[in-house]
Amino acid sequence: MPGPPYRHLGPLPDLTAEDLRGPVRTLLADPAARVSGCTGEPIGYESWSRASDGLYVVRGTASCEGGDRAWEMVLKQVRYRPWRPGPRDLARQIDDGGDGPADWAYWRREALVLASPFPRAAGGRFAAVRCLGIVPLPGDRLRLWLERADGTPGEAWTAGELLDTAEFLGGFHARSLRQPPPHRDWWCRPFLEQAALHERFALIERVADAETSADPAVRALFRPGTATALRALARRHADAVRTLRSLPAGLLHRDLTPRNLFRTAGGTVAIDWGQAGLGPAGEDLATLVLSAAAVADLHPAATLALGAAAAARHATGMAEQGGSCGPEEVALAFRLVAAYHFGLPVVRIADRLLARDAVSRAAAAGDPGTRRRVAVMTALVEQAQPDLRDTASP
């Protein structure tokens, strides 16, 4: 099948009153509610998970003891969809291409997470979207009924709302660390243990080629020494994995991009738990901050400053909940994940640039957005260099 991103804009599936009865009664907290009709439409989105099979808003009315009541829910469908990527596909995204329970795009994971008690146990002001029902369908498919998050989407947040969420997330991590979820074979493996990293390591020498390119626009894009710093990521990878495994591990969302977050009156609601697993708190914090920084087109200094401010608020949230993980451990995981997950993809920019003809290469290298992305990625890789030296095996 074609690679990501996957787009789903199909029509609303045919739904009967029986299909809607259970989730609507749960939503309205009325075991006798009778659904009297519904309408709906697809929610346009792009997904990097091959398990995605459509997202819809569904609304209608129900007859209840006190009269008719309006309701609105989200329907998410997932399915088993095999995909065997080649090296170029793996380098594009974090997806093992496998079908095992720990693989990145395991199609049942979100349903298993939302049906478990683990997100609710760590809840508080950072909470998982409420699941109203999970229905198996023929053909290795699942239907997930979800409460619609009523709040400001992450793409529209101010810096203050992001920092508030960092604090709420700290409380979530603290509660999870106090009572860590047990091992499950379907927890997603961490960023640093994904197959895509090895395919990206194979492209590091393209950065070395870019640093010495005859094209001055390309050469100016990459600072001397960037390839050397990237080689350290590859050389110290096993040590970095070992270091992260040694840190206190709790429940992680692992996909805290702006599109998956909503700021509500009570806190922050997170949707799309398909990559949830166990790991150090700094892994989630890195995804929260650096995904938001990328959406906001922040330059290196502003990105690093936002990271520092978010780390301080995260530490406050953890301390208020009696967190057992120190800020320095969170910061260490943040820097390592930032370098490998958000910095290392600079190799793909170099590879794509060098594959262009001379005219389009010069134009792409001079693009302000490209210059900003390369500068941020380089800063994240450089920031982790002392950590890599410290984690080296004797």
Could you write out the three-class secondary structure of 49-110?
CCCEEEEEEEEEEEEECCEEEEEEEEEEEEECCCCCCCHHHHHHCCCCCCCCCCCCCCCCHH
**Which of 383, 183, 151, 182 lies closest to 290, judged by CA?**
383
What residues form DSSP beta bridges with 190? Answer: none
> CB count, 10 Å around CB of 37?
10
Q: Which of 22-36, 42-56, 216-230, 330-344 has the lowest mean pLDDT?
A: 42-56
Residue 52 has pLDDT above 90, yes or no: no
* Residues in Cβ contact with 15 at an 8 Å cutoff, skipping those fewer than 6 apart: 38, 40, 58
Count of C-beta atoms within a 10 Å radius of residue 286 = 29
* pTM of the entire predicted model: 0.94
Read off the pLDDT band of 253 (50, 70, 90).
very high
The most confident of the ranges 47-61, 226-240, 322-336 is 226-240
Which one, of 101, 57, 55, lies nearest residue 80 by Cα? Answer: 101
Strand-pair partners of 233: none
Question: How deeply is 65 buried, as exposed, middle or buried, from its count of CB atoms within 10 A (0-12, 13-18, 19+)?
Answer: exposed
Beta bridge pairs of residue 126: 268
Q: What is the mean pLDDT of residues 20-44?
A: 93
pLDDT given at position 281:
97
- pLDDT tens for 333-356 read 999 999 999 999 999 999 999 999
Q: How confident is the model at residue 88 (pLDDT cuts 50, 70, 90)?
A: confident
User: Is residue 157 pLDDT above 90, yes or no?
Assistant: yes
Angle made by CA atoms 159, 163, 165, in degrees to the nearest 5: 120
pLDDT surpasses 90 at 66: no
| Beta strands in the chain, from DSSP E residues, in sequence order | 6-7, 34-42, 46-47, 52-64, 67-79, 126-128, 131-137, 141-147, 152-153, 250-252, 261-264, 267-270, 277-279
Q: Which residues, 6+ apart, have CB-to-CB distance to 300 below 8 Å?
A: 375, 376, 378, 379
Q: Closest Cα partner for 196 from 278, 336, 87?
A: 87
pLDDT of residue 393: 66
Provide the pLDDT for residue 92.
76
Report pLDDT digits (tens) over 104-149: 889 999 999 999 999 999 999 999 999 999 999 999 999 999 999 8
Task: Please tell me the least confidently modeled range out of 33-42, 70-79, 205-214, 312-321.
Answer: 33-42
Enumerate the domain spans of the chain: 6-147, 152-390
Q: Decide if pLDDT at 242 tops 70.
A: yes
The yes-or-no verdict on residue 4 having pLDDT over 70 is no
User: How high is the pLDDT of residue 9?
Assistant: 64
Q: CA-to-CA distance for 194 and 96, rounded, in angstroms?
A: 6
Convert the pLDDT of each residue in 295-319 to its tens digit.
Answer: 999 999 999 999 999 999 999 999 9
Per-residue confidence (pLDDT) for residue 65, from 0 to 100 = 85
For residue 147, the Cα-to-chain-centroid distance in whole angstroms is: 20
Query: For 52-69, what is the mean pLDDT?
Result: 92
Residue 38 neighbours by CB under 8 Å, 6+ apart:
15, 20, 58, 59, 60
Q: Cβ contacts of residue 304 below 8 Å, gap of 6+?
A: 379, 383
Rounded CA gap, 287 and 337, in Å?
8
Nearest alpha carbon to residue 253 among 377, 133, 154: 154
Query: What's the rounded mean pLDDT across residues 250-269?
Result: 96
67, 256, 337 from 104: Cα distances, Å: 45, 15, 16
Residue 155 has pLDDT above 70, yes or no: yes
134 contacts 115 by C-beta, under 8 angstroms:
yes
How would residue 6 be classed by pLDDT, with cut points 50, 70 and 90? Answer: low
Rounded mean pLDDT of the chain? 92
CATH label, 152-390, candidates 3.90.1200, 3.40.50, 1.10.287, 2.60.200: 3.90.1200
Chain position carrying tokens 């930032």 = 338
Residues 6 or more apart in contact with residue 368 via CB below 8 angstroms: none
- Summarised one tens digit per residue, pLDDT across range 360-370 is 998 999 999 99
